[in-house]
Amino acid sequence: MFYNTSYRNKSIDKEIDGHLGESYGLIKTFQLRGKGSGRMLIEEMSQKLFDSLDGHAGMHFTNIEQRPKGVLLFFKRNTSEFTWAVPFHHLSVFKTNTYNIHAQGQYVKLRLSTVFPYNEKFLKRMLKFRNDYMELGICG
């Protein structure tokens, strides 16, 4: 699910919360030692995601926020902000010469740059939450 979140829209917020759960509160965020990643450079993305970002070439960055039932990937292009909501049961992650996030027929390839090591702990935790979620059979 891909949303234009440039302006606050309560119906979109409710839809995202319904699919991924509400954002973690302050205490839970401290317990998790953060709920989001730092900025990561996108090396490549699927055509549909690229077109949704107005098809502008150039550098694109993303941040990831963890939710109880999935993750949000945030993209910013000029004054527009877009959010890709990915439930854990759709999420596939691969690490090759890039860090690949696949879901719902779309993908984002993140560059393993100098910034990546700072996000690696978050990404490992995200995968642990995904695996725990899938093992409990809560999905779907």
- The low-confidence residues of the chain, meaning pLDDT below 50, are none
The contacts of residue 54 (CB under 8 Å, 6+ apart) are: 77, 78, 80
Q: Give residue 115's pLDDT.
A: 65
Assign domain 2-135 one CATH number from 3.40.50.300, 1.10.10.10, 2.40.280.10, 2.30.29.30: 2.30.29.30
Give the DSSP H or E segment for 16.
helix 10-20
Distance CA 52, CA 134 (A): 30
- Can you point out the beta strands (E) in 1-140? 2-4, 40-45, 60-67, 70-77, 80-87, 92-95, 98-103, 106-111
| pLDDT of res. 114 | 63
What is the pLDDT at residue 54?
67
Q: In the prediction, which pLDDT does 57 show?
A: 58
Q: Are 114 and 105 in contact (CB under 8 A)?
A: no
Nearest CA-CA partner of 2 in 39, 48, 43: 48
Amino acid at 116: F
Q: How much is the pLDDT for 37?
A: 87
pLDDT score, position 36: 85
Domain regions of the chain by residue span? 2-135
Residue 119 phi, psi dihedral angles, 5° rounding? -95, -10
Exposure of 1 in the CB half-sphere (CA atoms within 13 A)? 16
What predicted TM-score, i.e. pTM, was given to this entire model? 0.84
